[in-house]
Structures are given as C-alpha cells and as structure tokens.
Amino acid sequence: MSPSPAERAQDLRRQIDEAGKAYYERDEQLIPDAEYDVLVRELEALEQAHPELAATDSPTQRVGGKASSRFAEVRHAVPMLSLGNAFSDEEVDDFVRRIRERLRRDALLFSAEPKMDGLAISLRYENGQFVQGATRGDGSTGEDVTANLRQIKVIPAQLQGEGWPDVLEVRGEVYMARADFEAYNANARLHGGKVLANPRNGAAGSLRQLDPKISAQRKLSFYAYGLGEVSGGELPPTHSGTLAQLKAWGFPVSDLCQVVEGRDGLLAYYRDIGARRDGLAFDIDGVVYKLDDRAGQEQMGFVSRAPRWAIAHKFPAQEQTTTVEAIEIQIGRTGAATPVARLKPVAVAGVVVANATLHNADQIKRLDVRVGDTVIVRRAGDVIPEVVSIIPDRRPEGTTAWQMPTHCPVCGSEIVQEEGAAVWRCSGELSCPAQRKEAIAHFASRRAMDIDGLGGKYIETLVDAGIVRGVADLYRLTRDQLLHLKLVLDAESPQALADQIGVHLPREGSGDYLRRVLALDAADEGWRAQALAMATDFEWNTKKIATKWADNLIAAIDTSRTTTLERLLFALGIEHVGESTAKALAVWFGDLELIRHLPWPLFKRVPDIGGEVARSLGHFFEQKGNQDAIDALINIGNVRISDTHPPSARLRDGLDFAQLLVEAEIPGITRLRAEKLTATLPDAQSLLDAEPVQLTAAGLPNEVALGLNAWLETNGQGAMLVEADAQRRALLEKAPELADIVAGPLDGQTVVLTGTLAQMSRDVAKERLEALGAKVSGSVSKKTSFVVAGTEAGSKLTKATELGIDVWDEDRLVAFLARE
C-alpha cells in the first residue's frame, strides 16, 4: 500500500533532516548531494500539490543547518541565503523568463560564475581591518570561526587600495584544492590517519577545528562572490563591477566569472565550464547565474530562503550511490596490492563507473566496506573513482568483514604488509607478470646490471609482444629481434608496418602480429623470409643507426653476464634492498647460493639490517617464482658472479643459538632468557620437541613458555627455526676464524662524503674507502669519524663543523688513499 502524501512528506522530512544534520553540523555525508537534491525536490513538489502539508519548519523553508554550540554564535546582519537549483535547460528558460516578465526587459545581462563546492562564509571588515568571520549556519546565525579563517593566507587581514566602506561584509567560499585534498589524504592513508571524504568536507572540517593550528595544517583557499552588510561607502552598480572592486581590495575572485547575455549566454557558459570542469584545480558542482545590475536585483527581491534574481545550474553529480558486487586485489607495477571495488555500474559526473579504488586495507577497515554494501562513489576530474563511505542503514544481513588475501592473484606469491605502513605488496618481484616491466627496467638500470641501450619503450614492446617474460629472457635476445623491434617502434602503426613490407595482418590481430615480427616465427617460412628481407631492404643499410644500436645492446647484455654479487643482489629488485644493503650482504655472506637459502633471522647478523629488511629478504627468497628466475639467470642467461668469497669472519661474533632466538623476535625471549633456555636445550630441534614444562624448567616464566610453544607451532615458524639453526652451523663452518682477518685501516670508522670531488667520482671514493673497512654513510651524526668535503659542500659540512667532527679536503683523501 502506497503511503499517503502526508506520510510521504513526513518520511522525506525525516531523511532530509538526518542527512542535513550530519552534513552541516558534523561534516559527515550520509547520502550523495544528488540524492539529497532529489529528496528536497520531491518534498517541494508535494508541498506545492498539497498546500496543507506546508510548514514553517519544513527543510524546504530552511537554509543550511544549525550552528554548532562549540563556537560562539554570530548573528548575520544580512541573512546568508541559499540558491534555488536548476537541473535542465528548461528550468534555466523559466528563470530568465520570470526576470524578463517582472522587469519588463528583453535584454538581460547576467554575471555567471562557477559554483564552488566548499563552505560558505562571511568576512566582516571595519575600517579596512578583518575583525570577524562566520559560517552560514542556518542563514540567520552562524559560527564564529575567525581564528581559523586567519590561517587562510589569501584572506586579507587589511584591505588594499582605498575607498572601502566603514563596514564591509564579504561573502565567499572556503574550499580545498584538489591537489591539496589528494596530498592530505595520501599522507593520512600512509600513516593510518583519518581520510577526508571529499574536498568540501575537508574545508568544512578544517574550519570547525577548535585548535587553529590544526586548520593551518590543511591548505585551504577562498574565493569572494558577494556582499552582506555594507555601510559608509559606495559600490559599483553591477555585480560584476563589485567583484572587480573586491579584487582591487585584495580578495581572490575567480577568473572564470563572466558577464553573458540572456538565456543563450547562460547555457553557453554552462557548457563551456562543464567541458573544463575536470581540468580545474578545484571542485565545482555547477554554475551560478546572477542578474548583473543591482537595481534589478532589488526589484526582483526574494522568496522564502532564496533570491529571485539568482539560481544555481547544477552539473551531473560527482557522487552517486551504488552497490559493491565484489572486492578484488589489483597488483601494480611495483607490486603494491590495491583493493578495488567491483560495482554495479552507475553514472558519475557523466561517466559510467563500474570499478572504484579502495586505496588499501586500512581504508577498507576504516570504512568497513563489505560485499553487498550500498556505498557513495566519488569521481572528480581525472581522479580515479573511489568509494568514500558506506550507507549503514542499507547494509544487507549476513555480510562479513573483508580480509586482505594472503597470496597474489596474479602469480600466487605471498602478499606482505610493509612494516609501519598501510601498503601491502606482492613478494614475487621477479616472477609476477604484473611487475614484469618494472622488474626488467630496474634489472637493466645503470647501477644494477648496467645494460646500456635498453630503454623503457623497448622493454614495453618486448614484454607486450611476449618475447621477454622475465629477466633471463634478456640473455636470449638476438640481433634480428632487436632490429625488428626498432622497426616496429618506428612504424606509425602495425597496419602501416604491414603495408610497408607488403604483408597482410594476421586475423588474430596486431598483438600477435608484433609477436611474429619480433620472434621471427619460423612456423611460416614464407612470412619469415619476408620479415627477414625487411631488415635488409629497409633503412638499416643506409643509416646504420639501428644496426649499431642493436650491436651495442647485444654487447651490453653479454658484458652483464659477468657481474659482482652486490650488483646482482641490487638488480633483483628486492623490497627495501638498496645499493648499500646489497653491498653489505655481499661483503658479509659472499655467496649468492648461501644468501638465497638463508632464513630471515640470519640476515639480521649484518650491521644496519633490521627486522623489516630481513623479513623482506626472507619473503623474496621464499617465493618459488623468484628462485626459478634466479635459476634461469644462472642456467639460461649464463650469469656469473666474479667476486664470490667465503662469509666474513665477523659473522662468528654473535652467531650462537641464543642470539638466533633473539633475532627471531620471539615474544618474551630476551638475551638472558635465551641463554638460560639454550643451556638445557642447545639446538632448535630439541627446543621444538620440548614440552612447556621443560621450557619453564629451563627458567622461562610460565606465560613466556606458553607463548614460545605457541610461536613454534604457528605458520611453520618451528620448521623455519630448525632450518635457521642448520644454516647458522653451516655459516660457522664456512666463516674463517677471527684471528685470520687482517683489519683494514678504517675498520669500524664511519665516513661521510659531501660536495663535488674533482679527482675522482663520489662512487669511486666510496668504493676505495669501503675497501679499507670504512662504512660510508649518507648523513652526519656524532658517530661519524670524519667528513670528506669537496667543492660546494652544504649542510653536511655545516653539521660536521657544529659537532666538531674532523673534516678532510679532497687532497688529504687522495694522499691517504695513495699511502694505503
């Protein structure tokens, strides 16, 4: 049974009041603006059709929301009214017609301007000084937010120029630019903070902070668009002239404001701004039309809460509601695992949206998004559509909280969370197809395997054509393939290339055609002969450019087959393993075969490698795909390491079983407790076989013993500890005795290089110093032994001087290295 008009009106008022209270008083959004507008328009239509339902407290008769009691109240001398809305060309026609008929004019000029999606405020100036700022509130009474408004740099504290009235109230919009909004949210997501739903909420929430310092941290902007109370001065007779005067007095005014004529001018402006909307630096939800001459405005007057001489022409909404049909993981080029909501398709800002980002697992947890939920989806400008909130009242029964998958949907490798961050990553760096291009580009880079000539566009094409599926495939490339690769990239299109060499594109399409060109598919000898002839008939023999490039690249690939351990470790692209960590691993362990089979706790024996880096190394080498890729490099690519050596004797210090238990980060296990434990349980297997009572007998508190027992039985950690203990023993056997080490002259010293060196590069200086036992650091601290300062040395030299650290010039460094 359908509700009566009175029942429907009551229900509409309830929904509008709930949404309005959240929006205006708590800066929360229960439903999208477009849905709110639909409810209001339905209620307006009901009240017009049934006058007996009209009431003075109806939402259709109010402006904004009640002012918050947290701030002092400000009574507006001139009410801050809202605007009527137009959603179609016909409604704009009606707006113009009403003014034309009431003023009895045919020619009408309007001031047209963008409708900012922010927070309306009023700024009061007395004798040119900013004295008070207030929100709109309910139109009659707002909130005193003067202290927060003073944090917005573009709002003048003192008016410029001359001729300003004794009292001047300037009305305008505080907003958050898109770039500032995205930067704020990116930082919040990274550090687990609360993200802002949209720029409008960001502006409103910032102004309603009780502490102005918090407001100052959020970059806000302001545009002036009108006036409130004015006394003791003259103003231009037009709205456009008034905006120009406000600009002269120091207020920001939108450059998009224009004076247009009649209905056609208004609609042309609407369409022009609509076309430019996505490229603007700020959000707008429509445009505003105002009769330009002030005398005409006074003649038109007002109706209830809105002026008759102005109207807002709304754009398609940038937020809509829809339902979540699935939540899936998308793996990016660097391995970042981003949750994506698969949505019931919905039109948002003129584009059909079926997918929206959820950013990360922490964001899903904060929003509590579940499959089946009704959500608000936002799309603004070029920003990827995102889920900004759920509508709890519409959640179906039986939904469950979402959990991050444990393994990559692309390659099956483990998905791990970065320590202290909201980012999750696939650990199959070398084996994951989603990361293939990025992994190959890093592998070939100058500081890694240094394959000169293999640029990004070549990698893109080789991977897209299926010729290179992993880093080892680089070592199978031929000169003919590279010549044809250059030809493909120089062609305007696959069809143009096919026409040029006189062959027909295969039915299977351009992607397979590229594969056939690059792979020189031998299955079709006739086609292959044509493709080969192309390499000699084309420009190669005249210009020789591609031939030289191909020969040089093949030579660079061959040269890279022999490399150092630190270069190869860095080239593997292991998360958190940069050049210095790769070098430390090479120095301390000396052998790839040893490193690739070490359980993660043993990596912590290397100075400066902590738990996060050690676990990252462990996760990488635990993935079968990564191990297969290394095998392929050695067996197919014939990559050889030139500087393999036994582990460092310094590993022996602290390589006892008790220290291994500490490095494994077992809850409650300190060095002292580990020593007590290993006195009776001397190895991992005996520890694994022990009962809890034996652990307490060894001196562990009961709760620690129970925790250790649970740890050993969880996620294969007991087996990992047994393997780590075996590798620990093997390291002790392989590492020479400490007495056999010849100490370098800089052993135990930390050196910092700064400025430009003329007689050698910084890299060479670093290598020479490290060869003498020094640790070369990137920052100066009290632990720094000395600083080498070249020309144009900056803050590091200043800090070294302040700390009283010895500073060497380049001549002293060169002389020292010559003696050693």
Tell me: is residue 257 an annotated ligand-binding position: no
The gap from C-alpha 341 to its chain's centroid, in whole angstroms, comes to 17
- The token duo for 662 is 């500490």
Full DSSP string of 597-651:
T--GGGGGGSTT--HHHHHHHHHHHH-HHHHHHHHHHHHTS--EETT--PPPGGG
Q: Is 734 known as a binding-site position?
A: no
643 is in an annotated binding site: no
Instruction: Establish whether 35 is an annotated binding residue.
Output: yes
Q: d(Cα 649, Cα 255) in Å, to the nearest integer? A: 70
CA distances from 418 to 423, 430, 559, 619, 653 (A): 6, 18, 35, 12, 30
Among candidate residues 601, 610, 620, 591, the one with its CA nearest the CA of residue 724: 601
Residue 113 marked ligand-binding:
yes
Q: Is 136 annotated as a binding residue?
A: yes
Neighbouring C-beta atoms of residue 37, cutoff 10 Å: 15
Q: Which residue has the tokens 């001031």?
A: 111
Q: Is 36 annotated as belonging to a binding site?
A: yes
* Contacts for 21 with CB less than 8 Å, ≥ 6 apart: 65, 66
* H or E stretch covering 123: strand 119-126
CB 602 within 8 A of CB 585: no
Which of 21, 115, 437, 543 is the catalytic position?
Answer: 115
Asked whether residue 686 is marked as a ligand-binding residue, the answer is no
Compute the distance between CA of residue 461 and CA of residue 468 in angstroms, rounded to an integer: 9
Residue that has been written with the tokens 């040119």 in this structure: 128
For residue 307, the surrounding DSSP H or E stretch is strand 306-307
Distance CA 587, CA 653 (A): 15
Distance from C-alpha of 744 to C-alpha of 738, rounded to nearest angstrom: 13
Which of 59, 190, 82 lies closest to 136 in space, CA to CA? 82
Decide if 73 contacts 141 (C-beta within 8 A).
yes
Query: Residues 295-329, buried b or exposed e (16+ Cβ, 10 A)?
Result: ebbeebeeeebbbbbbbbbbbbbbbbbbbbeebeb
115 an active-site residue? yes
311 vs 269: CA distance, rounded Å: 14
- Would you mind telling me the total number of residues written for the chain in this entry? 820
- Binding residues for Zn(2+), by number, are 408, 411, 432
Q: Please give the positions annotated as active site.
A: 115
- Binding residues, by number, are 33-37, 82-83, 113, 136, 173, 290, 314, 408, 411, 432
- Binding residues for NAD(+), by number, are 33-37, 82-83, 113, 136, 173, 290, 314
